[in-house]
Amino acid sequence: PQKQYADVVIEVLPTQLIPDDNERKVLRVRLVM
């Protein structure tokens, strides 16, 4: 179940984050992984 949840978070995070915040996106995705 955690794997599916992480998949959803990674997909939602980039959509909610600003395109100018590329560094933040990578950090968030890494935290989720």
**Cβ within 8 Å of residue 17, ≥6 positions away:** 24, 25, 28
For residue 30, name the pLDDT band (cuts at 50, 70, 90): low
Residue with tokens 């933040």: 24
What pLDDT score does 26 carry? 56
- Where in the chain are the domains? 2-32
**Cβ within 8 Å of residue 11, ≥6 positions away:** none
Is the Cβ–Cβ distance between 13 and 29 less than 8 Å?
Answer: yes
For residue 29, name the pLDDT band (cuts at 50, 70, 90): low
What pLDDT score does 1 carry? 53
The per-residue pLDDT for range 1-20, each reduced to its tens digit, is 566 655 656 555 555 555 56
pTM surpassing 0.75? no
For residue 24, name the pLDDT band (cuts at 50, 70, 90): low
Sign of CA dihedral 11, 13, 31, 8: negative
